[in-house]
Structure 1
């Protein structure tokens, strides 16, 4: 079953429409974006006045190659966010891509993009169910449950796809803080890796993402996007941030500690299904009531059509946000329907 009307996080207009009397400012916990952003470097005025230069793009790609440990044999392309890559890839793959197995439940845009391109999309809950698929798409670590497919298993799956003339697509949007789960620096044949910049660096509005794979496919993606696909300021900020490995290491440790803190707050309210350092997934029979309760307190969560018992919590940022969340959860425990 492919979702047509996909629920995304980050829609505070929807939150305000649902909870008209909620206090401001809203605390948006519906996304998996780092609440502590990378400090923006000074931006020369010229970046806003001229078209992005080839040297600017080269600097970004060099920094991305080092940060993501891209092997020399692979090519890499930058895009204005990974979403455009998710949309373009099925159109380029054409009829030869299918059947396409999407390991889920996961980020719903993958299945929808392939379905829009006319592919025979088959959602699967386990890779063993995808043995007949020519193309396999998975998110690693997965959104929303944090499931990880081992590198060893990915190498086997990639080899099988190569033998079929197919493709393995690995969306590593949440792999920055756990590089050990990445299929990089090994990149087997017939494999495409997607990396998202904005989530870990807390700069989703910059719109920057990457595709890494064999040169012919990367060239096709680059051609499809056309010249100047990424804005000059995004090239500059991305190159600076990706080269700052100490910041990433510190942020990863801090967000892991925050995730553990969030687990402790949520544990009395249900079962922690999983997640990553940037979000946690709670399963509870009280999910609808808890969603409404927190919404009325100005805290917005991510709900799921596939399982009404699930709520995904992003991380609060400031101390005041943590305090508001803790107070609202305490109030729910004292006045809500009880543990589930």
Structure 2
């Protein structure tokens, strides 16, 4: 089935492009354009054999068991590991016949692009009441970039409707690790539902490239078949299994992130922003001169996320060091003199 050209989604994290745009900016750059935990999990030392051999089945089993325990899945058989949740976003649309897809937006642009690329009829909708006759619905929960959450019982009711239509509910929980209890739908996974989880964001190890799909057995088998063998590297499996089992680290860093969010909110309000939303890993703020502010920050070597469709919005990740906090505050003060 022929598909028209799909425009590439805009993403944060591209420091090479930022350096080209602001060649005289201060180094090192402070990248606040992503929602990645700046306080990364300490990577354990790995033996040389982990790097030298193909990924082993027992290591994958330990990883899946740790993920099932961490996310509240029924068992390891309902979890599929992939080289990043982005890979799953692209794979799942290939597994279903072209259909009507409603994506709750505005949200992460790769969802709509991936479904459209596979010939599905995609429409952005602002709420569950607007999905109409779509048989596939995509919800990012908590949402990126607004931080909006939808209660698990509402999503379960929607899943039941979609199951009757022979459809699928896709819930992207990439930012659910530090959300309020009860936000995740995984512990009471309804039929016709797949949940995506991102490892790298919460654990500050985005370069590891690891994500999970959580679903009932039939869909899990289809996703595994599409991924093929050795989808996740041996080092990634070893590191993530240790991290996912470390509940104390997650609780400690969650408290630190909450403090960081309060500090960032105060800083943004002090400089004339209105807070639009966010999660414990990023804040979305609004300013009438957001474009000017982003340019001043870029000139100071600070990369924030812009939104071409919403020019008054800027998304700020969390600084990770005292120096980064100082540089952000100084650049915002300089921007205030321009606005």
> Are 1:74 and 1:212, in contact at CA under 8 Å, matched by a contact in 2?
no
RMSD: 1.2
Contact 2:101 2:136 in 1 (8 A): yes
Aligned-partner Cα distance in 2 for 1:5–1:166: 26
Instruction: Determine whether 1:204 maps to 2:222.
Output: no
TM (normalized to structure 1)?
0.96
Which one of the candidate residues 93, 107, 116 is aligned to 2:96? 93
Deviation string 1:102-144 (CA, Å, 9 cap, x unpaired) is: 0000000000000000000011111111031100001000000
Please give the per-residue CA displacement for 1:63-114, whole angstroms capped at 9, x wherever unaligned.
Answer: 000000002496110000011110010011122xx21000000000000000
Which string of whole-angstrom CA distances, capped at 9 and with x for unpartnered residues, describes residues 288-340 of structure 1? Answer: 0000010011100101122111100000001100011011112222x122xxx
Q: Does residue 233 of the first structure (1) align with residue 227 of the second (2)?
A: no
1:152: which partner in 2?
A: 153
Count the aligned residue pairs.
333
Q: For the Cα contact (< 8 Å) 2:65–2:76, is it kept in 1?
A: no
Partner of 2:110: 109
How far, CA to CA, are the matches of 2:85 and 2:9 in structure 1? Answer: 17
Q: 1:301, 1:311 within 8 Å by CA — same for their partners in 2?
A: yes
Instruction: State the secondary structure of the residue aligned to 2:97.
Output: helix
2:137 corresponds to which residue? 136
Match of 1:263 in 2: 265
SS across alignment from 2:182? helix
Within-5 A mapping of 1:241-260: 241-260=243-262
Moved over 4 A (4+): none
SS in 2 for 1:5: coil
Give the one of 61, 64, 68 matched to 2:67: 64
**What's the secondary structure of 1:137's corresponding residue?**
strand
Trace 1:266-285 onto structure 2 (pairs within 5 A): 266-267=268-269, 268-285=271-288
- Contact conserved, 1:73 with 1:214, CA < 8 A, in 2? no
Report the Cα distance in structure 2 between the residues aligned to 1:73 and 1:295, rounded to whole angstroms.
44
Name the CA distance, whole Å, in 2 between partners of 1:74 and 1:314: 34
Structure 2 equivalent of residue 5 of structure 1: 8
C-alpha distance in 2, partners of 1:111/1:270? 29
Superposed displacement of residue 3, structure 1: 6.6
Gaps of 5+ in 2: none
Which residue matches 1:118?
A: 119
8 Å contact kept, 2:68–2:76: no
Q: Structure 1: which 5+ runs fail to align?
A: none
1:34–1:200 CA contact under 8 A, matched in 2: yes
Alpha-carbon spacing, 1:6–1:73, altered in 2? closer, same or farther (3 Å): closer
What are the Cα deviations for residues 246-292 of structure 1, in whole angstroms up to 9, with x where unaligned? Answer: 10111111111101110000013221100000000011111100000
Asked whether the equivalents of residues 104 and 128 of structure 2 are also in contact (C-alpha less than 8 Å), the reply is: yes
- The equivalent of 1:294 in structure 2 is 297
Question: Which whole-Å CA distance do the structure 2 matches of 1:9 and 1:43 have between them?
Answer: 30
Moved more, 324-333 or 22-31: 324-333
| 3-state DSSP of counterpart to 1:121 | strand
User: Distance in 2 between the 1:123 and 1:67 partners?
Assistant: 31
